[in-house]
């Protein structure tokens, strides 16, 4: 498989995807009380949360590996693509969920799982050296 997307670019895509998943139901005019809205919003929030703690260039706390992150992205894509049938709203809408979910899976398959500048696991900022 061609791994042409570097982790730094993947990080930008992560934050954009998370925010877009949260905003897309409003942009597309979904009813805010329906399942098709909440599936996207919840997956968007989860994407932002695990992106913040992934061990790559754009994280805030390097706690999980890039490989774990990619598995989470893959699972998120599968859930999103299958959600219209899993949660029984395919009669109302399915295309945005399927397209976005399959796009997420494609990005996982094209991402290099090794960060160019892979930070070590950390929770707090580095202490200054004496």
Angle formed by the axes of helices 66-86 and 95-110, nearest 10°: 160
- What is the distance, to the nearest Å, from the Cα of residue 49 to the centroid of all Cα atoms in its chain? 9
Does residue 130 carry a pLDDT above 60?
no
pLDDT tens, residue by residue, 26-63: 999 999 999 999 999 999 999 999 999 999 999 999 89
pLDDT tens, residue by residue, 75-101: 999 999 999 999 999 999 999 999 999
- Helix (H, G, I), strand (E, B), or coil: what is residue 60? coil
- What is the distance, to the nearest Å, from the Cα of residue 30 to the centroid of all Cα atoms in its chain? 21
Count, residues in the chain: 130
Separation CA 45–CA 130 (nearest Å): 39
* pLDDT at position 123: 59
**Mean pLDDT over all residues of the chain?**
92
Separation CA 63–CA 69 (nearest Å): 10
Which tokens hold the place of 77? Answer: 């894509």
- Helix (H, G, I), strand (E, B), or coil: what is residue 54? strand
Overall average pLDDT of the 1-19 stretch: 94
């Amino acid at each position: 498989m061609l791994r042409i997307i570097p982790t730094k670019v993947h990080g930008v895509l992560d934050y954009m995807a998370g925010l877009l998943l949260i905003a897309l139901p409003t942009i597309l005019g979904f009813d805010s009380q329906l399942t098709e809205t909440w599936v996207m919003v919840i997956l968007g929030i989860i994407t932002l949360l695990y992106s913040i703690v992934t061990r790559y260039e754009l994280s805030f706390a390097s706690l999980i590996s890039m490989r774990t992150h990619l598995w989470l992205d893959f699972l998120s894509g599968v859930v999103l693509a299958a959600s219209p049938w899993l949660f029984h709203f395919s009669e109302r809408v399915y295309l945005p969920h399927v397209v976005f979910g399959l796009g997420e899976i494609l990005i996982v398959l094209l991402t290099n799982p090794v960060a160019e500048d892979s930070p070590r696991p950390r929770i707090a900022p580095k202490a200054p050296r004496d």
